[in-house]
Amino acid sequence: MLSDHWALVLKTSSTDWGPKPFRSIDVWQSDERVKDFVISKWQRYEVQGSGIYVLKEKLKKLKADLKVWNKDTFGNLNQAGEDIQRHIQNLHARDDESELDEERREERRILLAEQRGTKHR
């Protein structure tokens, strides 16, 4: 007889690599300007040293520039998400009190779909 069970490894080690040098925000993937921004900034950085040092320093500079660019381009995304969540909760409360018309129900459906889309990217 053969078993239908498979071993499952959930975690093999607990290595802490320290702070992450670079993160990408999902909304950047849909913005065509980000590629040109990164290329132009990367080419302007002048760093001397070994290859790995140059890479580390350029990533550090790019991270700082991307933070500013992100805020200027998209504003505070966390605040925007919190505002959407509050609006959805308000619509839920109004629906519980039978005060929500079909137009507001559709608005809520759209907001919920957008919220789910941003969480799963």
The reply to whether 83 and 51 lie within a common domain is: no
With cut-offs at 50, 70 and 90, classify the pLDDT of residue 84. Answer: confident
Choose the final residue of a domain: 57, 74, 91: 74
- Is 54:43 a contact under the CB 8 Å cutoff? no
Other Cβ atoms less than 10 A from the Cβ of 104: the count is 14
Over residues 91-111, the mean pLDDT reads 76
With cut-offs at 50, 70 and 90, classify the pLDDT of residue 81. Answer: low
Tell me whether residue 91 is in a domain.
yes
The reply to whether 70 and 81 lie within a common domain is: no
| Model confidence pLDDT, tens digit, residues 34-74 | 888 989 999 999 999 999 999 989 988 998 998 888 888 77
Query: pTM (2 decimals)?
Result: 0.47
Distances in whole angstroms, Cα of residue 67 to Cα of each of 12, 58, 94, 95: 33, 14, 37, 39
What is the predicted pLDDT for the residue at 47? 94
